[in-house]
Amino acid sequence: MAEREKVLVFCSRGSDYRTRHVMNDLKTIMPHSRGESKMSKKTSITMINEIASMAKCTKCIYFESRKKKDVYMWLTNVEDGPSVKFLVHNIHTMEELRLTGNCLKASRPVLSFGSEFDVQPSSRVIKELLKQTFATPNHHPRSQPFIDHIFSFSMTPDGKIWFRNFQVVDEKMELQEIGPRMVLEIATVFAGSFEGAVLYENPNYVNPNAVRRQMKLAQRNKYVNRKMTEEGRKEKDEKLQQIKLPDLVGEEFDTNRKVTDEKALEIMKAIDTKLARPKKSKTKKARLG
């Protein structure tokens, strides 16, 4: 990388606070970065090439916000391409995490890549683009001649890149996380800058709109199933009410049944005479006393 190379880092209008904070964190830990005012969503995304060339930037990191729910990150080589489109998950800023790690503001980082980046040609292209974008050029005017933190990039089998920033505590290579952290899901790799032929398309990538649509369909089916269950329960209750079941309790405890047993008749007669006796009132008892 040339000594004077710069990276343009900015976002679109309508970005949420988390996206803006992680963008500012990247500007802080990348001394060779340069900011720009937010770009309107109505402007064509290819206009970023002209904005970057006017700012004398060779690379660009652009955060595109859609529907105030989804955040995409474009990583591109402005001059000749290629460019990569990521869907950003699990954004955590430095202020939010408040981790114990710390480093000099303008120090140069060491970039660490997992062995998964050397498996496929597409991952090798992404690795080279990440290296050229996040690595601070040697002897850059804004950088300091110190190396005290590491940018870690690791890839999962489903095409998601985990980004972490660690402090190198001592010579024993003990690490403490500084932040920020985020997960980048690979969507598409283009041959040009924000345009061109599609070099790679992640087969595991699912559009967030399709995910939300599936969730709505599942909720709708859940509502329909609940209503069908309620109707079936009502029909079952109506059928049970129409069936006349034998009254076993009434047969056992029928008081109108004729009693023929002599002992039972004597007990009934004693109960009736006891009930027929007049009860003495409490007032009479008090007067007699």
Q: Per-residue pLDDT tens for 92-118?
A: 988 887 777 788 888 889 999 999 999
pLDDT of residue 159: 83
Better pLDDT: 55 or 173: 55
pLDDT of residue 63: 94
Query: Mean pLDDT over residues 156-170, rounded?
Result: 88
Alpha-helical segments (H) within 87-194: 94-97, 121-134
Model confidence at 2, in pLDDT bands (50, 70, 90)? low
Which three-class secondary structure state does DSSP give residue 76? strand
Asked if 136 and 108 count as a contact pair (C-beta separation under 8 A), the reply is yes
- Region of 249 (left: φ > 0; alpha: ψ -120 to 50; beta: rest) is alpha
Query: What does the alpha-carbon distance between residue 7 and residue 58 come to, in Å, rounded to a whole number?
Result: 6
**What pLDDT is stored for residue 190 in this prediction?**
94
Give the residue with greater pLDDT, 238 vs 253.
238
Q: Is the pLDDT of residue 289 over 60?
A: no
* Confidence class for position 128, pLDDT limits 50, 70, 90: very high
Mean pLDDT calculated for residue range 214-222: 79
Per-residue pLDDT at 252: 54
Query: To which residue do tokens 């869907």 refer?
Result: 87
Q: Where are the alpha helices (DSSP H) in the chain?
A: 17-29, 47-54, 94-97, 121-134, 208-242, 248-252, 262-276, 282-288
User: Residue 285 pLDDT more than 60?
Assistant: no
> What is the C-alpha to C-alpha distance for residues 154 and 178, in angstroms, rounded to an integer?
17
> Which pLDDT score is estimated for 162?
94
Chain segment 72-93, per-residue pLDDT in tens:
999 999 988 899 999 999 999 8
